[in-house]
Amino acid sequence: MDDLFELFGNWRGPAIGLMDLDAFFASVEQLDHPEWRGKPVIVGGSPEERGVVSTASYEARPYGVHSAMPSAQAKRLCPHAIWTHGHFDRYREMSAQVMAILVDETPYVDQVSIDEAFFDITPGRYARENPIDIVRRIARRVSELGITCSIGLGTSKTVAKIASDRDKPRGLTIVPPGTEQSFLEPLPVRAMSGIGASAEATLKRMGIHTLGQLAATPVARLSAVFGVNAQMMRDRAAGVETSAVTSIDAPDDTKSVSNERTFARDLTERADIDAALALLGESVGRRLRKRGLAGRTVTVKVKYSYGSGRTIQRKLAHATDDENLFVPVARELMDEIWSEGMHIRLLGIGVSDFAAHPDVQTDLFCEVDERGAVASSKRELSVAVDKVRERFGNSAVSFGRATRFGDDLVRPDKYLNQNKPTD
DNA sequence: TCTGGGGTCCTAGGACCC
DNA sequence: TCTGGGGTCCTAGGACCC
């Protein structure tokens, strides 16, 4: 690693990292239960209740146990494992501590899940320090919390993400600038996020097996597989993507809140179904209110015992966060997809299509000199920032939250992030 | 003793309006 | 009398992620 430092002490181009916490849920359990350390621990649903494995500790993995595996199967493979349903508030708390470390190193942190985040440590964008020094320090600071992480570092999100997977746990994989292509070329297409089983099968039929082949395929051919994202997917495979890491301080851009449950025994009685809808709805309502969200669309999801499923949704006249209003709608929707004699394995209820109070809206705001742009989502904001930069050059860009009262935009007193000019 | 529980995004068809 | 097409909204379904 010291050789790397010598060689790449002068990092060229973007420096994007992806930090992934190792066996996160299981590691937190082992931290909180010292007697579980060194033993196979499985966080997930119980084998008797159609559960699946959420996370298996590294001690359980040699038995073949892994995430998303049916718990019954995991139980067969590793009968002596310690099981727990998990403590999600605790995981969220630990996650927040980890994210705070990242934000302390750079404001450009894009949390993608409870245990993963991209961060941009391009020299000069925020700090000027060598990126390799920074990722080493991040790994050390995370380990001081009692859990560990793996980090990938490269010049794009795609490269960083794949690199982070190379060496786990406690890995640090660096793909130096200029070596992206040789790193990506031989990898199977499935290695890139966004390509799942379905796209993989289609690509295989087209004779495309590796990222190198994907990068060499005309966009027009790829459109059949990726639709509007064909160009972007090709760029990612070629290691030339330009997708930026935005700030962790972007407002909550949650699009939906839902709750679903698979029942240990199928529901067959309408009264049980209505009771389940009420319970699921109550939790959705509580979470909506906690986050200050109100939605206009109610969705009901079912899976029948014979495997197939349906979703049905309805738009309301007004946004609501009150289960007393949206659960009755869910019951009406149930009437359309359930009739006497049907066995229901899974039931879900969701609220989406959020609307703010019409007169008070919190928006993202970005500004270059005196000229600003407003956006209602992170995605929109990054487009807006790019447009502003295109017009005015890469001068001082700041962004944060602004609140709109009717037509008046009230800008924040203090911007959350400052990107000072680097030239 | 097969397959959870959160989410995001895209597509496609029909209704409706101009 | 016959025949548009574009745009937007709504809905259902599916791929994909961790």
Report which of residues A373 and A246 the model is more confident about: A246
Give the predicted TM-score (pTM) of the model: 0.82
Residue A397: what pLDDT? Answer: 47
Q: Please, are residues A423 and A396 in contact by the beta-carbon 8 Å criterion?
A: no
Q: Which nucleotides of C are covered by protein (CB under 7 A)?
A: 10-18
Give A251's pLDDT tier (boundaries 50, 70, 90): confident
Is the model's pLDDT at A220 over the cut of 50? yes
Residue A400: what pLDDT? Answer: 46
Catalytic residues of A: 116
Provide the CA A198 to C1' B11 distance, Å, integer: 15
Is the model's pLDDT at A183 over the cut of 60? yes
Is the model's pLDDT at A403 over the cut of 50? no
Residue A315: what pLDDT? Answer: 95
Residue A386: what pLDDT? Answer: 55
Considering chain A, what percentage of its residues have pLDDT values greater than 90?
Answer: 77
Strand B and A268 CB separated by under 7 Å = no
Is the model's pLDDT at A358 over the cut of 70? no
Mean pLDDT estimate for chain A: 86
Provide the CA A406 to C1' C10 distance, Å, integer: 27
**A64-103 pLDDT, tens per residue?**
999 999 999 999 999 999 999 999 999 999 999 999 999 9
Provide the CA A150 to C1' C4 distance, Å, integer: 59
Residue A384: count of CB within 10 angstroms of its CB:
18
Cα A256 versus chain centre, distance: 14
**Closest-lying nucleotide for A201 based on CA to C1':** C15
**A283-304 pLDDT, tens per residue?**
999 999 999 999 999 999 999 9
**A92-141 pLDDT, tens per residue?**
999 999 999 999 999 999 999 999 999 999 999 999 999 999 999 999 99
Give A197's pLDDT tier (boundaries 50, 70, 90): very high
For the residues A187-200, what does the mean pLDDT come to? Answer: 96
